[in-house]
Amino acid sequence: MLAVLRVMAVIFGFAGGAASAANTAEENAVAYVLAQVVNLEHEGSIWAALAKSNFRNMNLSSQEVLAQDDQWRREIGTGDPALIGLVTAVSASAYLRALVQGSGGRITEIIVMDALGLNAAISNVTTDYWQGDEAKFLETFPKGAGAIHKGGIEFDESANTYQRQVSVTLVDPITRTPVGAVTFGIDAAAFP
């Protein structure tokens, strides 16, 4: 999409116009998320949730991951959210909910994923448990420290809004090894 805007800008003589605005909106959203990640990295509950989730899930087979993902989907909206409850009850999830609530509407959701791409902490219930097959995980955690994935603007069912997702690898502050990833859903209207 960005490439199309750039070509149109050149054809119509608006180099720096629409393409620049699109670049600026994306750059501003990414800068905002990176500032939030710095704060997140100082929150002990995030590291505790990642350690717990990585330990609990490290020996799961791919079939078990898919079975848990199916269980999560079945639990949505029911009175018995056993698996969902494991994730929403951790203090890191409460911290993420507070971040979303304190963002003035800029952040629509936050998902912290473990080394398999399973939810370790969430600000609100996601449509699925396993993010490991999605670009937000595949373009970050496996690529190591410093990896950033910038998604396009899309309607997100979990957040019930148009948003851009920005994801980064989370690196253990002591060992400097990747331990998970985080995705911030950013309201598209907050960064026009």
What is the tens place of the pLDDT at every residue in 111-135? Answer: 999 999 999 999 999 999 999 999 9
> Is residue 25 pLDDT above 90, yes or no?
no
- At 22 the pLDDT is 59
Assessment of whether the complete model's pTM goes beyond 0.85: yes
Q: Give the tokens for residue 101.
A: 């609530």
Residue with tokens 């690898």: 169
pLDDT score at 160: 81
pLDDT of residue 21: 57
Is residue 86 over pLDDT 70? yes
Phi–psi pair at 186, nearest 5 degrees: -115, 125
Position 158 scores a pLDDT of 73
**In the chain, pLDDT over 90 holds for what percent of residues?**
78
Cα–Cα distance for residue pair 123/180, rounded to 1 Å: 16
Once rounded to an integer, what is the mean pLDDT over residues 23-35?
90
Is pLDDT at 150 greater than 60 in this prediction? yes
* Encoded tokens for 38: 């710095």
Exposed e or buried b per residue across 51-72, where buried means at least 16 C-beta atoms within 10 angstroms of its C-beta: ebbbeebeeeeeeebeebbeeb
- In whole angstroms, what is the distance from residue 86 CA to residue 114 CA? 14
* 5 has a pLDDT exceeding 80: no
Question: pLDDT at residue 85 above 60?
Answer: yes
Rounded to the nearest 5 degrees, what angle is found at the Cα of 25, between the Cα atoms of 112 and 1?
90
CA distances from residue 157 to 127, 128, 153 in whole angstroms, order as listed = 7, 11, 13
Please provide the average confidence, as pLDDT, over all residues in the chain.
88
The one-letter amino acid code at 12 reads F
Four-point Cα dihedral 162, 180, 76, 74, nearest 10: 120
Residues 6+ apart with CB under 8 A from 174: none
Beta strand residue intervals within 29-145, DSSP E = 107-113, 119-122
Q: Which of 5-9, 12-16, 70-74, 149-153 has the lowest mean pLDDT?
A: 5-9
State the average pLDDT over residues 38-50. Answer: 95
CATH architecture of 44-190: 2-Layer Sandwich (3.30)
**CB count in 10 Å sphere of residue 111:** 25
